[in-house]
Structure 1
């Protein structure tokens, strides 16, 4: 016979996986949120600096576009990490009727993996196009001669686009690793 405390407490395995999902969700949430803020600020600096520049660099527009797309997907991933915390909390609930099924949990985690991979792709496209523009600018500069063409100068604002993309890649990578680890934990459970 079960005592009242045993009947009220959730199954230890469910509580364990719930705690793992909740804790991993919070860690991924804060890491991705921090990197999203850095990416967003770098992108904001690049965008506002472009509007004040005398000669805007049209080549970096593609990198800015992909970085902005990556930040949008990153904000979705941050929300999804918060959703992991809610799933973990519901798995820790004493009422088994409120627990999400293993299939539902797996599908939610898989969507997080897909969002992370799409975000990595978008920010890689942005980083690649930005680096190509920066390399083209640096190669076009003659050594030892003063640069008279302002389109050939690598400005700090140009580098902010690369910073936004690289932070986006790091954030999406961290979120994808967290989701893959959670998927493995759920499958072992």
Structure 2
């Protein structure tokens, strides 16, 4: 009987220790994955932000609304959501501090909802950016198809040359725009991976 009581006490102590250490491991996961997501999304979102700001400034002389296309509005909305995702990765690091303390520790359902919102934001980023990329790359592909057969140089027309019509040109700004879209897709993918990893770790907790 005494041995049974000792076994029960040891089992209770083990359960107590495991429940007290698991949130600490989870807090470290939130801290490090939140930092990684924050740094990568800031790095990847820098070029798209510069591209959109430069284009908006170049269109300022044409009127704020009239110079904006539907694709540009989508790009601006996507960048706003990306900035929210960057802020949400920062919230992951704040959540790590709350998980360390029993008195400030949120419930499992609250943590899951927090992660689901971050996951949803990054999925929306991916959807919007892929739609923009499909239309933009399709437009550039159509321009390439209008070039003369066997043409190897794509450059603005000069006097006395007939390389291509002005509407069929691919400029460096087009390639910068494609790079910006790839960066946003990569940033959204980082956010999705971070949220899924944290959801997996939270799901393993009792």
TM range (shorter): 0.7 to 0.9
1:183 corresponds in structure 2 to 199
Provide Cα deviations, 1:140-175, integer angstroms capped at 9, x if missing partner.
111348235211111111222222211100100111
Higher RCO (C-alpha 8 Å, min separation 6) = 1
2:184 corresponds in structure 1 to 168
Alpha-carbon distance in structure 2 between the residues aligned to 1:160 and 1:22 = 33
SS at match of 2:147: coil
1:91 aligns with 2:99: yes
Provide Cα deviations, 1:24-81, integer angstroms capped at 9, x if missing partner.
11110110111111221233345556779xxxxx9x9454333322211110100100
Aligned residues: 172
Alpha-carbon distance in structure 1 between the residues aligned to 2:69 and 2:144 = 18
In structure 1, the gaps of 5 or more residues are 1-9, 53-57
Superposition CA RMSD, Å: 2.3
TM alignment of 1:8-47, pairs within 5 A: 11-47=20-56
Alpha-carbon distance in structure 2 between the residues aligned to 1:45 and 1:156 = 14
2:110 corresponds in structure 1 to 104
In structure 2, the gaps of 5 or more residues are 1-18, 62-66, 152-160
Deviation of 1:98 (Å):
0.8
SS at match of 1:29: helix
1:78 aligns with 2:86: yes
Structure showing greater Rg: 2
Alpha-carbon distance in structure 2 between the residues aligned to 1:27 and 1:179 = 12
1:150 aligns with 2:166: yes
> Is contact 2:48–2:180 with CA below 8 Å preserved after alignment?
yes
> Is contact 1:117–1:172 with CA below 8 Å preserved after alignment?
yes
Change (3 A) 1:161 1:64: farther
TM-score, L = length of structure 1: 0.82
SS at match of 1:40: helix
